[in-house]
Amino acid sequence: MLAFPVRVAYVLPMLPIGLPSPLAQALDERGYSALTAVQIAVTEPEVGAADLLVSSRTGSGKTVAYGLAIARTLMDANDALERAGAPLALVIAPTRELALQVQREIEWLYARAGARVAACVGGMDPRREQRVLAAGAHIVVGTPGRLRDHLERGQLDLSALRAVVLDEADEMLDLGFREELEAILDAAPTDRRTLLFSATLPKPIVALARRYQRDARSITIGERDQGHGDIDYRAIAIAPSDVEHATVNLLRYFEPGSALVFCSTREAVRRLHVNLAERGFSAVALSGELTQNERTNALQALRDRRARVCIATDVAARGIDIPDLELVIHAELPHDGQALQHRSGRTGRAGRKGVSAILVPYPRRRRAEAMLRTAGIAATWQSAPSVEDIRAKDQERLIAELRPSGEVAEDDLAIARVLLSGENPELVVATLIRAQRANLPAPEDLAVTGPVPSYDPSADSGSSGPGGPAKARPGFEDSAWYTIDMGRNRNAEARWILPLICRRGHITKLEIGAIRIFDRETRFEIVRKAVERFDAALASAEIEDGGRITPLADPETPVKRDRGGFGDKREGGGKRGANDRRDGPKPPRPAGAGPRPGGKPGKPGAKPYRGKRADPG
């Protein structure tokens, strides 16, 4: 059974006195003058050797926390480790990147204790890992699949195991590793310590803890289902066709030292990576199709600042730690609130501030709002930065960067004197600014800038379509009407529907006439001379942002009503009652008419159908 949760305030006292001296010295050399809240909680004296179920947000220092928590379990009274042999501790992480990152953290934390830390992860040479395990290790860090493989082959000996740590346990269950985790935990000694660390505590995690932990102490750092306090969440309302341009403008507006852009598929990662690289951004891609060597090189480029932008899928970016990550862009909406928090948790780490920008196409605004409510996040809604916004921000940065400050080297002054001799100082400075701007990717014009007002169909005065006057607009006396299955139910607005139609049909806005928005569809007219080209483009277009376009024979056709019988309010009528029929009520069937056509044949001796009887009860 789980004990009552212990809630810990976020304070930063000095390093605890009770830490083993090799670890305390390693923390001091690393610059730790104080511990984070989760690190304090797991090193409290009353925790002792208890099992732990810890819920703490990403970026709160969980790796060092469980490294400290298991120290007394692994080390003797003299703060020393026995000779390396069968592992004393096992750390399980969901992805290769996170496992290798954990290995690096544990290595420096236990370096002065002489610990040997081995990694067993998918994508690496299993024979080399086998040799490392055979030589002996104090701590093994690995991914569930590779650890289970070594276990089943007899290469991983768990007989001496004293502690098992499940890092990012919720993500491992999301990735489908339950069977592997259970196989490993079932093979471990029953008297071991089991520590579960997770950003969230959904029911499957609690069930796993109840099965494999004994009298665990539950520790929650901060409130659950609440956005990270160091992250500034911004919901960016955009037209569906502006995802790529809005991403460019966000990168240009914030000019972060490093940024992470999330896409939902590998193909989207490839496409956005190529487009950003063509625009001059130093970008790398992370997706499941890359080899381990390619993924390692991409992450190293970010750490070395050879690249500033990483485009990744959810799976590829789980658990990775990019130093000083200032901006996370959700180019495609995450599937739920937990995924949003996991993505956003890559920034705002260790007390640093970060921005999480969520690109929300107008048809998906309701879904985004529901997701934010579920995650307990209060996001600021705004438009994407415009070209003017970016130029104003560039001006601020250039002035701050070029304004004289501090001492100047004599060599630099000599060059300045040469440049200014006989020249207009303003022209010299303007040339320098131009050279600075030449290195910056150009911002993009967006289809919609600024707040999008509610669309009033009555304001469209020049239309021969439904709801408008009979008089046609000049140039549209001969036109064709189409319908797209996006209406007010998907926050349709004429200002973003217009560029969507242009992009999908390869026409200009001058060739589009009236736009009429209804509850579940939008009707629009195309000038007759553009119809053939429009139809050809529709036939080859991919429906990537929703909205199927089909010809409309008669623009005066009544708007279709839902046949589902749910009583929705629609154009041309109110709620439909239970007896509401499209062609009037059906006539009653005569007595003795037998079963209805198409029904099941009656049983021998069954009475003929005589209609519905009243319930006698």
Q: Supply the DSSP string of 397-444, one letter for each residue.
A: HHHHHHS--S---HHHHHHHHHHHTTS-HHHHHHHHHHHHHHTSPPP-
457-552: same fold as 6-221?
A: no
Task: Supply 436's token pair.
Answer: 């600075």
pLDDT tens-digit map of 587-603? 455 555 555 554 445 45
CA 203 – CA 119 distance, rounded (Å):
30
pLDDT tens-digit map of 32-56? 878 888 899 998 888 888 999 998 8
pLDDT tens-digit map of 104-138? 999 999 999 999 999 999 878 899 999 999 999 99
Cβ contacts of 373 within 8 Å, gap of 6 or more: none
Q: 6-221 adopts what CATH topology? A: Rossmann fold (3.40.50)
Average pLDDT on 218-234 reads 72
| H or E element, residue 148 | helix 144-152
3-state secondary structure of 608: coil
pLDDT of residue 176: 83
User: Could you tell me the pLDDT band of residue 472, with boundaries at 50, 70 and 90?
Assistant: low
pLDDT tens-digit map of 305-331? 889 999 998 876 666 777 678 999 999
Does the pTM surpass 0.75? The reply is no
In this structure, of 198-202, 330-334, 358-362, 561-565, the range with the lowest mean pLDDT score is 561-565
Average pLDDT on 324-347 reads 88
pLDDT of residue 247: 95
Going by CATH, does the domain composed of 457-552 fall within 2.40.180.10?
no
User: Could you tell me the pLDDT band of residue 98, with boundaries at 50, 70 and 90?
Assistant: confident
Q: How far is CA 251 from CA 270, 280, 311, 435, 479, in A?
A: 18, 12, 12, 20, 42
CA 517 – CA 466 distance, rounded (Å):
10
Q: Which of 509, 463, 511, 516 is closest to 492 using CA atoms? A: 516
Going by CATH, does the domain composed of 231-385 fall within 2.102.10.10?
no
Buried b / exposed e across 569-607, counting CB within 10 Å, b at 16+? ebeeeeebeeeeeeeeeeeeeeeeeeeeeeeeeeeeeee
Q: Domain ranges for the chain, please list them.
A: 6-221, 231-385, 387-404+416-442, 457-552
Between residues 551 and 496, the one the model is more confident about: 551
